[in-house]
Amino acid sequence: MQLDEIDKKLLMLLQTDSKRTIKAYANDLELSNTAVYERIRRLENKGVIAKYVTLLNKGLIDKAFVVFCHVKLVQHIKEYVRQFEREVLQLEEVVECYHISGDYDYLLKICVKDMEAYREFLVGKLTALKNIGSTQSSFAIQEVKYSTAIQL
Amino acid sequence: MQLDEIDKKLLMLLQTDSKRTIKAYANDLELSNTAVYERIRRLENKGVIAKYVTLLNKGLIDKAFVVFCHVKLVQHIKEYVRQFEREVLQLEEVVECYHISGDYDYLLKICVKDMEAYREFLVGKLTALKNIGSTQSSFAIQEVKYSTAIQL
DNA sequence: CTATATTTAGAAAATAATTCTATTCTTAAA
DNA sequence: TTTAAGAATAGAATTATTTTCTAAATATAG
Protein backbone atom coordinates (compact mmCIF):
# COMPACT_ATOMS: atom_id res chain seq x y z
CA MET A 1 0.00 0.00 0.00
CA GLN A 2 1.56 3.22 -1.20
CA LEU A 3 0.61 6.37 0.67
CA ASP A 4 2.11 9.68 -0.39
CA GLU A 5 2.47 12.64 1.94
CA ILE A 6 -0.89 14.08 0.91
CA ASP A 7 -2.64 10.78 1.69
CA LYS A 8 -1.01 10.73 5.11
CA LYS A 9 -2.02 14.31 5.90
CA LEU A 10 -5.53 13.60 4.68
CA LEU A 11 -5.81 10.45 6.80
CA MET A 12 -4.60 12.35 9.86
CA LEU A 13 -7.32 14.95 9.27
CA LEU A 14 -9.96 12.25 8.75
CA GLN A 15 -8.89 10.37 11.87
CA THR A 16 -9.21 13.54 13.93
CA ASP A 17 -12.58 14.65 12.57
CA SER A 18 -14.55 12.83 9.91
CA LYS A 19 -17.44 15.28 9.76
CA ARG A 20 -15.79 18.23 8.07
CA THR A 21 -16.68 19.00 4.46
CA ILE A 22 -14.50 17.88 1.57
CA LYS A 23 -13.94 21.54 0.82
CA ALA A 24 -12.51 22.04 4.31
CA TYR A 25 -10.03 19.18 3.88
CA ALA A 26 -9.22 20.49 0.40
CA ASN A 27 -8.42 23.92 1.81
CA ASP A 28 -6.09 22.45 4.44
CA LEU A 29 -4.33 20.35 1.81
CA GLU A 30 -4.37 23.10 -0.83
CA LEU A 31 -6.06 20.87 -3.36
CA SER A 32 -9.35 20.90 -5.28
CA ASN A 33 -12.50 19.24 -4.01
CA THR A 34 -12.26 16.59 -6.69
CA ALA A 35 -8.70 15.67 -5.84
CA VAL A 36 -9.59 15.14 -2.20
CA TYR A 37 -12.83 13.36 -3.07
CA GLU A 38 -11.00 10.89 -5.32
CA ARG A 39 -8.29 10.26 -2.74
CA ILE A 40 -10.86 9.47 -0.07
CA ARG A 41 -12.70 7.17 -2.47
CA ARG A 42 -9.45 5.37 -3.31
CA LEU A 43 -8.53 4.97 0.38
CA GLU A 44 -11.98 3.57 1.11
CA ASN A 45 -11.80 1.12 -1.78
CA LYS A 46 -8.31 -0.08 -0.85
CA GLY A 47 -9.54 -0.70 2.69
CA VAL A 48 -7.13 1.74 4.33
CA ILE A 49 -10.18 3.56 5.63
CA ALA A 50 -12.00 0.88 7.63
CA LYS A 51 -15.04 2.78 8.84
CA TYR A 52 -16.51 6.03 10.07
CA VAL A 53 -17.80 6.02 13.63
CA THR A 54 -19.22 8.23 16.34
CA LEU A 55 -17.44 8.33 19.70
CA LEU A 56 -19.49 8.93 22.84
CA ASN A 57 -18.62 10.49 26.16
CA LYS A 58 -18.47 7.47 28.49
CA GLY A 59 -19.09 9.65 31.54
CA LEU A 60 -22.44 10.87 30.20
CA ILE A 61 -23.81 7.44 29.36
CA ASP A 62 -22.91 5.76 32.64
CA LYS A 63 -20.13 3.57 31.32
CA ALA A 64 -17.13 5.29 32.82
CA PHE A 65 -16.05 2.31 34.91
CA VAL A 66 -13.24 0.76 32.86
CA VAL A 67 -11.54 -2.48 33.82
CA PHE A 68 -8.67 -4.43 32.29
CA CYS A 69 -9.04 -8.12 32.93
CA HIS A 70 -6.29 -10.65 32.32
CA VAL A 71 -7.60 -14.12 31.59
CA LYS A 72 -5.86 -17.45 31.71
CA LEU A 73 -7.49 -20.49 30.10
CA VAL A 74 -7.31 -23.97 31.57
CA GLN A 75 -6.70 -25.82 28.32
CA HIS A 76 -5.22 -24.49 25.11
CA ILE A 77 -6.73 -26.95 22.68
CA LYS A 78 -7.52 -25.09 19.46
CA GLU A 79 -11.20 -25.88 19.70
CA TYR A 80 -11.54 -24.46 23.23
CA VAL A 81 -9.56 -21.36 22.31
CA ARG A 82 -11.81 -20.72 19.32
CA GLN A 83 -14.86 -21.15 21.51
CA PHE A 84 -13.60 -18.65 24.08
CA GLU A 85 -12.88 -16.09 21.38
CA ARG A 86 -16.31 -16.58 19.83
CA GLU A 87 -17.96 -16.08 23.17
CA VAL A 88 -15.96 -12.96 24.02
CA LEU A 89 -17.20 -11.36 20.80
CA GLN A 90 -20.74 -11.76 22.12
CA LEU A 91 -20.06 -10.08 25.47
CA GLU A 92 -21.32 -6.52 25.07
CA GLU A 93 -19.29 -5.22 28.04
CA VAL A 94 -16.02 -6.23 26.35
CA VAL A 95 -14.85 -3.48 24.01
CA GLU A 96 -11.40 -4.87 23.29
CA CYS A 97 -9.82 -8.31 23.55
CA TYR A 98 -6.30 -9.37 22.64
CA HIS A 99 -4.55 -12.71 22.74
CA ILE A 100 -1.26 -11.72 24.38
CA SER A 101 2.13 -13.05 25.32
CA GLY A 102 3.09 -13.45 28.97
CA ASP A 103 1.62 -15.09 32.03
CA TYR A 104 -1.96 -14.60 30.96
CA ASP A 105 -3.55 -15.59 27.67
CA TYR A 106 -5.92 -12.68 27.05
CA LEU A 107 -6.32 -9.06 27.95
CA LEU A 108 -9.85 -7.67 27.95
CA LYS A 109 -10.97 -4.08 28.21
CA ILE A 110 -14.40 -3.79 29.78
CA CYS A 111 -16.69 -0.75 30.09
CA VAL A 112 -19.54 -0.83 32.58
CA LYS A 113 -21.46 1.49 34.92
CA ASP A 114 -19.84 0.72 38.25
CA MET A 115 -18.26 -1.94 40.42
CA GLU A 116 -21.56 -3.68 40.93
CA ALA A 117 -22.05 -3.98 37.19
CA TYR A 118 -18.53 -5.30 36.87
CA ARG A 119 -19.15 -7.90 39.55
CA GLU A 120 -22.21 -9.06 37.65
CA PHE A 121 -20.24 -9.24 34.44
CA LEU A 122 -17.32 -11.11 36.01
CA VAL A 123 -19.29 -13.61 38.05
CA GLY A 124 -22.35 -13.91 35.85
CA LYS A 125 -20.78 -13.87 32.41
CA LEU A 126 -16.99 -14.11 32.16
CA THR A 127 -16.07 -16.71 34.77
CA ALA A 128 -19.26 -18.55 33.89
CA LEU A 129 -17.67 -19.45 30.55
CA LYS A 130 -16.14 -22.91 30.14
CA ASN A 131 -12.37 -23.29 30.27
CA ILE A 132 -11.60 -20.11 32.24
CA GLY A 133 -8.62 -20.73 34.53
CA SER A 134 -7.96 -17.56 36.43
CA THR A 135 -8.61 -13.86 35.96
CA GLN A 136 -6.97 -10.74 37.29
CA SER A 137 -8.73 -7.41 37.17
CA SER A 138 -7.08 -3.98 37.11
CA PHE A 139 -9.35 -1.01 37.53
CA ALA A 140 -8.80 2.19 35.60
CA ILE A 141 -8.32 4.97 38.13
CA GLN A 142 -7.96 7.53 35.37
CA GLU A 143 -8.06 7.60 31.58
CA VAL A 144 -4.89 9.50 30.77
CA LYS A 145 -5.11 9.07 27.00
CA TYR A 146 -7.56 7.52 24.60
CA SER A 147 -7.10 7.91 20.88
CA THR A 148 -8.40 6.04 17.87
CA ALA A 149 -5.90 7.84 15.62
CA ILE A 150 -2.67 6.24 14.52
CA GLN A 151 0.23 8.50 13.62
CA LEU A 152 1.25 8.32 9.94
CA MET B 1 -28.38 12.85 31.19
CA GLN B 2 -31.71 11.44 30.11
CA LEU B 3 -31.69 9.18 27.07
CA ASP B 4 -34.91 7.62 25.86
CA GLU B 5 -35.06 4.41 23.85
CA ILE B 6 -34.97 6.28 20.54
CA ASP B 7 -31.82 8.14 21.60
CA LYS B 8 -30.17 4.85 22.53
CA LYS B 9 -31.07 3.20 19.24
CA LEU B 10 -29.87 6.26 17.35
CA LEU B 11 -26.58 6.32 19.26
CA MET B 12 -26.01 2.64 18.53
CA LEU B 13 -26.53 3.32 14.82
CA LEU B 14 -24.20 6.33 14.92
CA GLN B 15 -21.52 4.41 16.80
CA THR B 16 -21.62 1.65 14.18
CA ASP B 17 -21.56 3.90 11.12
CA SER B 18 -21.50 7.69 11.24
CA LYS B 19 -21.56 8.21 7.44
CA ARG B 20 -25.09 7.21 6.64
CA THR B 21 -27.62 9.90 5.74
CA ILE B 22 -30.06 11.30 8.24
CA LYS B 23 -32.82 9.89 6.10
CA ALA B 24 -31.32 6.41 6.50
CA TYR B 25 -31.29 6.68 10.29
CA ALA B 26 -34.80 8.15 10.17
CA ASN B 27 -36.03 5.15 8.19
CA ASP B 28 -34.51 2.72 10.69
CA LEU B 29 -36.07 4.60 13.60
CA GLU B 30 -39.37 5.25 11.80
CA LEU B 31 -39.14 8.99 12.39
CA SER B 32 -38.94 12.08 10.21
CA ASN B 33 -35.65 13.59 9.06
CA THR B 34 -36.18 16.60 11.28
CA ALA B 35 -36.82 14.55 14.40
CA VAL B 36 -33.56 12.64 13.90
CA TYR B 37 -31.68 15.79 12.93
CA GLU B 38 -32.78 17.57 16.12
CA ARG B 39 -31.96 14.57 18.29
CA ILE B 40 -28.46 14.38 16.87
CA ARG B 41 -28.00 18.09 17.38
CA ARG B 42 -29.16 17.80 20.99
CA LEU B 43 -26.83 14.86 21.68
CA GLU B 44 -23.92 16.82 20.19
CA ASN B 45 -24.69 19.91 22.25
CA LYS B 46 -25.07 17.94 25.49
CA GLY B 47 -21.69 16.35 24.83
CA VAL B 48 -23.00 12.78 24.68
CA ILE B 49 -21.61 12.64 21.16
CA ALA B 50 -17.94 13.41 21.65
CA LYS B 51 -16.67 13.32 18.08
CA TYR B 52 -16.83 11.74 14.66
CA VAL B 53 -13.73 9.90 13.53
CA THR B 54 -12.34 7.70 10.78
CA LEU B 55 -10.88 4.32 11.73
CA LEU B 56 -8.04 2.92 9.65
CA ASN B 57 -6.95 -0.63 8.91
CA LYS B 58 -3.78 -0.99 11.01
CA GLY B 59 -2.50 -3.81 8.82
CA LEU B 60 -2.49 -1.63 5.70
CA ILE B 61 -0.61 1.26 7.26
CA ASP B 62 2.16 -0.79 8.87
CA LYS B 63 1.04 -0.34 12.47
CA ALA B 64 -0.23 -3.81 13.22
CA PHE B 65 2.29 -4.49 15.97
CA VAL B 66 0.35 -3.84 19.17
CA VAL B 67 1.94 -3.95 22.60
CA PHE B 68 0.55 -3.52 26.10
CA CYS B 69 3.12 -2.08 28.42
CA HIS B 70 2.72 -1.97 32.18
CA VAL B 71 4.68 0.83 33.79
CA LYS B 72 5.71 1.33 37.39
CA LEU B 73 6.97 4.73 38.53
CA VAL B 74 9.78 5.18 41.04
CA GLN B 75 8.20 7.99 43.00
CA HIS B 76 4.54 8.88 43.30
CA ILE B 77 4.88 12.54 44.14
CA LYS B 78 2.02 14.41 42.51
CA GLU B 79 4.36 16.59 40.47
CA TYR B 80 6.23 13.61 38.99
CA VAL B 81 3.01 11.80 38.24
CA ARG B 82 1.66 14.84 36.41
CA GLN B 83 4.86 15.11 34.42
CA PHE B 84 4.72 11.47 33.36
CA GLU B 85 1.12 11.85 32.20
CA ARG B 86 1.94 15.00 30.25
CA GLU B 87 4.81 13.25 28.51
CA VAL B 88 2.77 10.17 27.64
CA LEU B 89 0.27 12.39 25.86
CA GLN B 90 3.09 13.52 23.59
CA LEU B 91 4.21 10.01 22.63
CA GLU B 92 2.65 9.35 19.25
CA GLU B 93 3.05 5.56 19.52
CA VAL B 94 0.84 5.49 22.64
CA VAL B 95 -2.81 5.25 21.65
CA GLU B 96 -4.23 4.56 25.11
CA CYS B 97 -2.97 5.11 28.63
CA TYR B 98 -4.71 4.35 31.91
CA HIS B 99 -3.71 4.86 35.50
CA ILE B 100 -4.65 1.50 37.00
CA SER B 101 -4.90 -0.37 40.25
CA GLY B 102 -2.60 -3.30 40.97
CA ASP B 103 1.13 -3.99 40.91
CA TYR B 104 1.82 -1.51 38.13
CA ASP B 105 0.79 2.15 37.94
CA TYR B 106 -0.06 2.52 34.24
CA LEU B 107 -1.17 0.44 31.33
CA LEU B 108 -0.22 1.70 27.88
CA LYS B 109 -1.42 0.46 24.51
CA ILE B 110 1.16 1.05 21.80
CA CYS B 111 0.86 0.67 18.01
CA VAL B 112 4.01 0.45 15.91
CA LYS B 113 5.32 -1.25 12.77
CA ASP B 114 7.27 -4.13 14.22
CA MET B 115 9.45 -5.32 17.09
CA GLU B 116 12.33 -3.11 15.99
CA ALA B 117 10.11 -0.04 16.11
CA TYR B 118 8.90 -1.10 19.53
CA ARG B 119 12.45 -1.50 20.78
CA GLU B 120 13.22 2.03 19.58
CA PHE B 121 10.13 3.34 21.32
CA LEU B 122 10.80 1.51 24.57
CA VAL B 123 14.51 2.24 24.83
CA GLY B 124 14.59 5.59 23.08
CA LYS B 125 11.41 7.17 24.38
CA LEU B 126 9.56 5.44 27.20
CA THR B 127 12.32 4.27 29.52
CA ALA B 128 14.21 7.44 28.66
CA LEU B 129 11.60 9.38 30.65
CA LYS B 130 12.42 10.43 34.20
CA ASN B 131 10.91 8.49 37.10
CA ILE B 132 10.23 5.23 35.24
CA GLY B 133 10.76 2.32 37.61
CA SER B 134 10.07 -0.85 35.68
CA THR B 135 8.08 -1.86 32.63
CA GLN B 136 6.59 -5.11 31.48
CA SER B 137 5.55 -5.60 27.85
CA SER B 138 2.90 -8.02 26.59
CA PHE B 139 2.69 -8.45 22.84
CA ALA B 140 -0.62 -8.82 21.08
CA ILE B 141 -0.58 -12.14 19.27
CA GLN B 142 -4.03 -11.55 17.88
CA GLU B 143 -6.66 -8.83 18.02
CA VAL B 144 -9.75 -10.81 18.94
CA LYS B 145 -12.06 -7.82 19.34
CA TYR B 146 -11.73 -4.08 18.87
CA SER B 147 -14.75 -1.86 19.17
CA THR B 148 -15.25 1.83 19.80
CA ALA B 149 -18.96 1.29 20.42
CA ILE B 150 -20.42 1.08 23.90
CA GLN B 151 -23.64 -0.84 24.40
CA LEU B 152 -26.57 1.31 25.49
C1' DC C 1 -58.26 20.97 31.97
C1' DT C 2 -55.35 24.67 30.15
C1' DA C 3 -51.24 26.96 29.03
C1' DT C 4 -46.39 26.24 27.91
C1' DA C 5 -42.68 23.95 26.18
C1' DT C 6 -40.88 20.24 23.51
C1' DT C 7 -40.96 17.17 19.72
C1' DT C 8 -42.26 16.12 15.22
C1' DA C 9 -43.59 16.43 10.16
C1' DG C 10 -43.31 18.34 5.65
C1' DA C 11 -41.68 21.75 2.55
C1' DA C 12 -38.25 25.19 1.21
C1' DA C 13 -33.70 26.86 1.17
C1' DA C 14 -28.89 26.36 1.63
C1' DT C 15 -24.99 23.56 1.49
C1' DA C 16 -22.30 19.63 0.22
C1' DA C 17 -21.24 15.45 -2.34
C1' DT C 18 -20.75 13.42 -6.68
C1' DT C 19 -20.19 13.31 -11.55
C1' DC C 20 -18.48 14.99 -15.86
C1' DT C 21 -15.22 17.02 -19.12
C1' DA C 22 -11.05 18.91 -20.03
C1' DT C 23 -6.47 19.88 -18.64
C1' DT C 24 -2.23 19.14 -16.22
C1' DC C 25 1.13 16.35 -14.29
C1' DT C 26 3.84 11.80 -13.99
C1' DT C 27 5.93 7.99 -15.59
C1' DA C 28 8.08 4.86 -18.61
C1' DA C 29 9.68 3.73 -23.05
C1' DA C 30 11.83 5.16 -27.24
C1' DT D 1 15.53 14.50 -24.11
C1' DT D 2 10.99 13.51 -26.48
C1' DT D 3 6.67 11.33 -26.66
C1' DA D 4 2.78 8.48 -25.59
C1' DA D 5 -0.17 6.55 -21.91
C1' DG D 6 -1.99 6.64 -17.55
C1' DA D 7 -3.07 8.99 -13.33
C1' DA D 8 -4.27 12.98 -10.79
C1' DT D 9 -6.34 17.45 -10.71
C1' DA D 10 -9.37 21.64 -11.57
C1' DG D 11 -13.70 23.78 -12.47
C1' DA D 12 -18.43 23.50 -13.72
C1' DA D 13 -22.82 21.03 -13.66
C1' DT D 14 -25.71 17.92 -11.42
C1' DT D 15 -27.53 15.38 -7.73
C1' DA D 16 -28.13 14.52 -3.01
C1' DT D 17 -28.11 15.89 1.71
C1' DT D 18 -28.25 18.96 5.41
C1' DT D 19 -30.29 22.71 7.59
C1' DT D 20 -33.87 25.94 8.34
C1' DC D 21 -38.60 27.33 8.62
C1' DT D 22 -43.51 26.96 9.68
C1' DA D 23 -47.11 24.61 11.55
C1' DA D 24 -49.10 20.76 13.88
C1' DA D 25 -48.93 17.25 17.34
C1' DT D 26 -47.45 15.59 21.72
C1' DA D 27 -45.99 15.84 26.28
C1' DT D 28 -45.46 18.48 30.76
C1' DA D 29 -46.43 21.45 34.60
C1' DG D 30 -49.56 24.32 37.01
pLDDT tens-place string over residues A47-63: 999 999 999 999 999 99
User: Count of domains in chain B?
Assistant: 2
Cβ of B38 near strand C (distance < 7 A)? yes
Q: What is the mean pLDDT of residues A122-148?
A: 97
- Residue B41 sits in the same domain as residue B86: no
The pLDDT, as a whole number, for residue A132 is 96
Flag whether B53 is in a domain.
Answer: no
Residues from chain B that touch A69, judged by Cβ atoms under 8 A, are: none
Query: Is A95 in contact with B150 (Cβ distance < 8 A)?
Result: yes
Q: How far apart are CA B40 and CA B73, in angstroms?
A: 43
Percent of chain A with pLDDT over 70: 100
- Residue A99 sits in the same domain as residue A62: yes
- Residue A35 sits in the same domain as residue A101: no
CATH number of the domain bearing residue A132:
3.30.70.920
- Residue A72 sits in the same domain as residue A126: yes
The pLDDT, as a whole number, for residue B119 is 98
The pLDDT, as a whole number, for residue A5 is 95
Determine phi and psi for A97, rounding to 5 degrees: -150, 125
- Residue B74 sits in the same domain as residue B97: yes
Q: State which residues form the domain around B16.
A: 5-45
- Residue B35 sits in the same domain as residue B63: no
- Residue B63 sits in the same domain as residue B97: yes
Cβ of A34 near strand D (distance < 7 A)? yes
The pLDDT, as a whole number, for residue A103 is 94
Count CB atoms within 10 A of the CB of residue B47.
12
pLDDT tens-place string over residues A101-131: 999 999 999 999 999 999 999 999 999 999 9
Count CB atoms within 10 A of the CB of residue B100.
21
Nearest chain B alpha carbon to A18: B53
- Residue A64 sits in the same domain as residue A118: yes
Cβ of A27 near strand C (distance < 7 A)? no
Ranges under pLDDT 50 in chain B: none
CB within 8 Å of B121: residues ≥ 6 apart: B91, B93, B110, B112
Q: List the one residue out of A129, A99, A100, A125 whose CA is nearest residue A112.
A: A125
Q: How far apart are CA B97 and CA B12, in angstroms?
A: 25
- Residue B40 sits in the same domain as residue B62: no
Flag whether A50 is in a domain.
Answer: no
- Residue B67 sits in the same domain as residue B120: yes
The pLDDT, as a whole number, for residue A1 is 75
Distances (CA, A) of B133 to A92, A95, B88: 36, 30, 15
Flag whether B82 is in a domain.
Answer: yes
pTM: 0.94
Flag whether A19 is in a domain.
Answer: yes
- Protein residue nearest nucleotide D10, by CA to C1': A32
Flag whether A124 is in a domain.
Answer: yes
Flag whether B50 is in a domain.
Answer: no
Flag whether A25 is in a domain.
Answer: yes
Q: Nearest C-alpha of chain A: how many angstroms from B62?
A: 9
CATH number of the domain bearing residue A14:
1.10.10.10
Q: How far apart are CA A104 and CA B45, in angstroms?
A: 42
Determine phi and psi for B27, rounding to 5 degrees: -60, -50
The pLDDT, as a whole number, for residue B1 is 76
pLDDT tens-place string over residues B32-51: 999 999 999 999 999 999 99
The pLDDT, as a whole number, for residue B115 is 98
Cβ of B35 near strand C (distance < 7 A)? yes
pLDDT tens-place string over residues A24-37: 999 999 999 999 99
- Residue B80 sits in the same domain as residue B28: no
Query: Is A95 in contact with B1 (Cβ distance < 8 A)?
Result: no
Flag whether B150 is in a domain.
Answer: no
- Residue A81 sits in the same domain as residue A31: no
